[in-house]
C-alpha cells in the first residue's frame, strides 16, 4: 500500500469522496468523453483538505500541543483550519493581504476559535517566508501547502478516486498546477495504477512556474507573477513536486487569464458550477488541445476549487471582455465647443455599442479637454471602426492598453 492509498483508507468523514460527473455538453463540443472531477464540492470547496489532513495526521502529540502554522492564498488555509478544528489543534494561518475577503472569511468559519489569521505581504511567497520564520521562532509545526511528501500523497487520493469511479484507465487527466502538489500526487498514483494515462498540467500564463522549471531542468523563482489566479500563482514550484512531475507529467499547458475568466462565466451560465479562477484552468485548456488527439478519447478534468468571491464578478467579466476584444478604453481630447460630445455619441459610437465609463476633465482656457471613455462592443473588430470614426471626425485620441501604467493610473 503506497502513501496515497494509506491516507485514503484513513480519511475521516469530513474529507469527502467527490463526484466524477460526465459532462454531455463539453463532450459534444470537443468530440470526446469528458468527465469533471468535482473537487469544488469538497468539504472546504477544494482538494486542499486532502493534503492538509495527510500531513496533520502524522503529527505527534508533542507537535499537536505546540500548534501548527501554514501559509496559503486561501484553499490550503481552509483545509488546515478545518483540520485544526476537527483535531483540536491550535493553528496560525498566514495569508497574503491580497487574498479575496471571501477566502479569509471562510478560513475563520472553518477554523473557528482554533485558528488565528495573519495577513502579510502581497503574494503567497511573502506569506510563506513569514510563516516559516514564525515556525522556527515559536516552535510551531509547519504544514506545507505543496512541497511535502505527505501532502503530495494526500492530493494523490484524487487520482485513486477518479480511477475507481471511472472503472477504467482514462486517456488523459488535466490537472491545474500551482506549487505542484496536486499534479505530483496524481502523477504518482496514476503512474502505478494507470500508466497508460497521460497527465497534463495546466498553468495560468501569468504564473508559469512549473513550465519554466521544466524548461530550466530545476525549480526557479520567477521575478514577477500575475496573482489573479490566486490558487495557482506561485513564484516557485516545490522541489519534491518538480522531481515527480519532470518524469511523470506528460506536458504543461498555459492558459491566458482572460480565457480563464470566460470559462468561469461559462461554467456558471451553462452548468450552474461556481468555480474560482484556478478551478476553471483545466476546462479553459480544453480548447487548446489538438482535436485529433482527443477525438473519441476519455478525459478527466480536475475542477480544483469553488471558492470564488462574488465581489470579483465584475473584474472577471471585464478581464474576459478585454481578452475577447469586446471592451475598450480611450483617452479622447474633446474640443471645448458646443455639440462635441453629441457628435461623438451620434457619429462615433455604434448603434450596438455601450458607453460604460466616462470621466471628463474640463480645462479652463484650453481649446480641448480630456476624457477617459470605456466602450463595450458587440464584435472584436468594432474597435477599428471606432478608431476610424474618431480620426474621420478629427478627435485626438489614444487607445489605453489594459496592462499599461497609464491605464492603471486613469482607471485603477
**Catalytic residue list contains 48:** yes
Compute the 3-state secondary structure of the chain and give helix, strand, coil in percent, each to the nearest 5. Answer: 50, 20, 35
CB 349 within 8 A of CB 355: yes
> What span, in angstroms and rounded, lies between the C-alpha atoms of 76 and 194?
27
The per-residue pLDDT for range 346-389, each reduced to its tens digit, is: 888 888 889 988 887 665 445 566 889 999 998 888 888 899 88
Rounded to an integer, what distance in angstroms lies between the CA atom of residue 198 and that of residue 284?
A: 18
- What residues have CB less than 8 Å from 220, skipping those under 6 apart? 212, 213, 236
pLDDT digits (tens, 9 = 90+) for 27-52: 999 999 999 999 999 999 999 999 99
More confident residue, 217 or 343: 217
What is the distance between the alpha carbons of residues 57 and 52, in angstroms, rounded to a whole number?
A: 8
- Whether the per-residue pLDDT at 292 is higher than 80: the answer is yes
**234 backbone dihedrals φ, ψ, rounded to 5°:** -130, 155
Alpha carbons 350 and 179: distance in angstroms, whole number: 46
| CA-based nearest residue to 276, from 16, 19, 46 | 46
Q: Could you report the per-residue pLDDT of 94-129, keeping only the tens digit for each?
A: 998 988 787 888 999 999 999 999 999 987 778 889
Is the pTM higher than 0.85? The answer reads yes
Helix and strand tally (H, E) in the chain?
Answer: 18, 14
Is the confidence at residue 60, as pLDDT, over 60? yes
Q: Which of 48, 134, 227, 259 is catalytic?
A: 48
Which three cell numbers, joined as nine digits, stand for 396? Answer: 485626438
CA distances, 399 to each of 1, 20, 307, 322, 402 (Å) = 60, 46, 35, 13, 9
Beta bridge partners of 173: 199, 300
Q: Are 223 and 125 in contact (CB under 8 A)?
A: no
Residue 16, pLDDT above cutoff 60? yes
Note the pLDDT of residue 233.
87
| Residue-wise DSSP of 122-169 | SSHHHHHHHHHHHHHHHTPEE--SSSSHHHHHHHHHHHHHHHHHHSS-
Among the listed residues 4, 194, 233, 304, the single catalytic one is: 304
C-alpha 349/C-alpha 265 separation (Å) is 27
Q: What is the pLDDT of residue 157?
A: 98
Domains of the chain: 3-46+152-314 (3.40.50.1100), 50-142 (3.40.50.1100), 325-410 (3.30.70.260)
Pair 251, 183: CB distance under 8 Å: no
* pLDDT of res. 124: 79
User: Please, are residues 25 and 130 in contact by the beta-carbon 8 Å criterion?
Assistant: no
First to last CA, the chain: 54
Amino acid at each position: 500500500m503506497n502513501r496515497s492509498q494509506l491516507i485514503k483508507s484513513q480519511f475521516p468523514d469530513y474529507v469527502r469522496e467527490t463526484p466524477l460527473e460526465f459532462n454531455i455538453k463539453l463532450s459534444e463540443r470537443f468530440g470526446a468523453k469528458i468527465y469533471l472531477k468535482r473537487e469544488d464540492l469538497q468539504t472546504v470547496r477544494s482538494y486542499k483538505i486532502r493534503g492538509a489532513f495527510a500531513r496533520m495526521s502524522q503529527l505527534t502529540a508533542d507537535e499537536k500541543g505546540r500548534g501548527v502554522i501554514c501559509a496559503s492564498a486561501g484553499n490550503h488555509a481552509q483545509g488546515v483550519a478545518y483540520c485544526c478544528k476537527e483535531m483540536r489543534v491550535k493553528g496560525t494561518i498566514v495569508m497574503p493581504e491580497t487574498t479575496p475577503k471571501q477566502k479569509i472569511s471562510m478560513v475563520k468559519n472553518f477554523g473557528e476559535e482554533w485558528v488565528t489569521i495573519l495577513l502579510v505581504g502581497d503574494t503567497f511567497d511573502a506569506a510563506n517566508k513569514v510563516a516559516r520564520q514564525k515556525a522556527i521562532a515559536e516552535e510551531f509545526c509547519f504544514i506545507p501547502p505543496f512541497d511535502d511528501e505527505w501532502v503530495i500523497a494526500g492530493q494523490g487520493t484524487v487520482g485513486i478516486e477518479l480511477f475507481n469511479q471511472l472503472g477504467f484507465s482514462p486517456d488523459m487527466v488535466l490537472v491545474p498546477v500551482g506549487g505542484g502538489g496536486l499534479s505530483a500526487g496524481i502523477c504518482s498514483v496514476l503512474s502505478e495504477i494507470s500508466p497508460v494515462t497521460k497527465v497534463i498540467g495546466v498553468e495560468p500564463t501569468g504564473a508559469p512556474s512549473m513550465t519554466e522549471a521544466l524548461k530550466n531542468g530545476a525549480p526557479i523563482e520567477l521575478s514577477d507573477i500575475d496573482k489573479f489566479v490566486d490558487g495557482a500563482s506561485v513564484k516557485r514550484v516545490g522541489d519534491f513536486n518538480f522531481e515527480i512531475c519532470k518524469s511523470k507529467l506528460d506536458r504543461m499547458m498555459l492558459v491566458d487569464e482572460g480565457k480563464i475568466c470566460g470559462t468561469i462565466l461559462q461554467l456558471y451560465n451553462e452548468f450552474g458550477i461556481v468555480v474560482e479562477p484556478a478551478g476553471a484552468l483545466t476546462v479553459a485548456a480544453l480548447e487548446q488541445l489538438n482535436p485529433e488527439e482527443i477525438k473519441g478519447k476519455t478525459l478527466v478534468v480536475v475542477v480544483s476549487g469553488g471558492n470564488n468571491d462574488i465581489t470579483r464578478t465584475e473584474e472577471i467579466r471585464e478581464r474576459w471582455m478585454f481578452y475577447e476584444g469586446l471592451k475598450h478604453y480611450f483617452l479622447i481630447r474633446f474640443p471645448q465647443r458646443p455639440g462635441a460630445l453629441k457628435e461623438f455619441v451620434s457619429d462615433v459610437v455604434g448603434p450596438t455599442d455601450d458607453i460604460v465609463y466616462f470621466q471628463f476633465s474640463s480645462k479652463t482656457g484650453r481649446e480641448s479637454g480630456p476624457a477617459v471613455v470605456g466602450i463595450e462592443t458587440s464584435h472584436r473588430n468594432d474597435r477599428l471602426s471606432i478608431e476610424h470614426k474618431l480620426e474621420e471626425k478629427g478627435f485626438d485620441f489614444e487607445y489605453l492598453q489594459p496592462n499599461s501604467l497609464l491605464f492603471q493610473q486613469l482607471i485603477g
